[in-house]
Amino acid sequence: MAQEKIAIIGGTGDLGFGLGLRWAQAGQSVLIGSRDAKKAQEAADRIRSAVPGATVSGVENAQAAADASIIVLAVPFSAQAAILKSLKPTMKSGILIDATVPLAASVGGKPTRMLGVWEGSAAQAARELVLPGVAVVSAFHNISADALQDLPSPLDCDVLVCGDNAEAKERASALIKLIPGLRPLDAGALEMSRVVESITALLVALNRRYKVKHSGIRITGLD
Ligand SMILES: NC(=O)c1ccc[n+]([C@@H]2O[C@H](COP(=O)([O-])OP(=O)(O)OC[C@H]3O[C@@H](n4cnc5c(N)ncnc54)[C@H](OP(=O)(O)O)[C@@H]3O)[C@@H](O)[C@H]2O)c1
């Protein structure tokens, strides 16, 4: 497989930065996107400090999207629609991996509650906001950003991948497999993301109850 060029929109944030770190560690080239190019460059510098020799750069979101073969969207739900609309002219094809969770916390509510999304899920909302040539896949909802950023600690988590385009799911899964300890599982059509996204609210509640930051999921019984 040719190396993908990954852009992480919101790559300065908790989840995006953690994914950037782990892919950089796996030898993957990464573009960190931000609304502010300087902030993106600072995040890229931090990745290079943690992973010497990493191929990572930080640019403004639109440039990151223009230069990528796979775009990961890692922004709060409250920002999802505006950022996708702003990237629409740039993102004409390729794959969008949406990690957005419509937690009530993104609009000032509780992190253990979900918002109702008319389209069914944040991922389905994303699909309505991108051009038809862009294949939307959803993933990474149930992985802790803290665990991703804790480089010395091995990961131990399944990543449920939803989408309506089989090739796009395979390419997203190949990227997930590059990160040791993560196992991608094909969770079905994009509409199944409604279930996967809501597991995050459960994990937030479990983190609080058990006073941890790293809870995740493993599905048993699969070969
Ligand atoms: N944190 C986790 O453990 C975790 C796990 C699974 C899924 N998720 C989901 O992944 C997404 C990102 O989570 P996060 O914790 O990484 O969020 P975050 O740190 O609060 O924000 C991520 C980035 O989004 C950008 N952003 C913030 N407000 C924005 C706006 N109004 N318009 C455009 N960009 C904006 C910011 O980048 P710039 O300021 O640089 O533009 C910020 O660094 C969320 O939907 C979350 O539910 C998070």
Taking only the tens place, the pLDDT of each residue in 42-53 is: 999 999 999 999
Asked if the model's pLDDT at residue 1 lies above 80, the reply is no
Ligand 1 contacts CB of residue 101 (under 6 A): yes
Q: What is the mean pLDDT of residues 135-145?
A: 98
Q: What is the mean pLDDT of residues 129-134?
A: 96
* Cα-to-chain-centroid distance, residue 150: 17
**Residue nearest atom 48 in ligand 1 by C-alpha distance:** 15
Ligand 1 contacts CB of residue 77 (under 6 A): yes
Q: What is the mean pLDDT of residues 52-76?
A: 96
Task: Give the pLDDT score at 89.
Answer: 93
How does residue 188 score in pLDDT terms, banded at 50, 70 and 90? very high
Task: Identify the sign of the CA torsion 199, 204, 210, 216.
Answer: positive
Give the span between the Cα atoms of 128 and 222, in whole angstroms: 32
Give the span between the Cα atoms of 73 and 58, in whole angstroms: 15
Ligand 1 contacts CB of residue 75 (under 6 A): yes
Residue entry with tokens 């920002």: 79
pLDDT averaged over every residue in the chain? 97
**Residue nearest atom 33 in ligand 1 by C-alpha distance:** 79
Give the span between the Cα atoms of 10 and 71, in whole angstroms: 11
Cα of 222 to ligand 1 centre, how many Å?
A: 32
Asked if the model's pLDDT at residue 187 lies above 60, the reply is yes
Contact 6, 175 (CB under 8 A): yes
Q: What is the mean pLDDT of residues 183-210?
A: 98
How does residue 181 score in pLDDT terms, banded at 50, 70 and 90? very high
Q: What is the mean pLDDT of residues 72-93?
A: 96
Give the span between the Cα atoms of 97 and 140, in whole angstroms: 9
**Residue nearest atom 32 in ligand 1 by C-alpha distance:** 79
Q: What is the mean pLDDT of residues 129-148?
A: 97
Q: What is the mean pLDDT of residues 129-156?
A: 97
Asked if the model's pLDDT at residue 2 lies above 90, the reply is no
Q: Which of 41, 54, 81 has its CA nearest to residue 151?
A: 54
pLDDT above 70 as % of the chain: 99
- How close are the terminal C-alpha atoms of the chain, in Å? 24
Closest ligand 1 atom to residue 99 Cα is 10
Q: What is the mean pLDDT of residues 62-87?
A: 97
How does residue 174 score in pLDDT terms, banded at 50, 70 and 90? very high
Q: What is the mean pLDDT of residues 98-105?
A: 97
Is 4 or 182 the better-scoring residue by pLDDT? Answer: 182
Pocket test for ligand 1, best of 22, 73, 75 (most atoms within 8 A of CB): 75
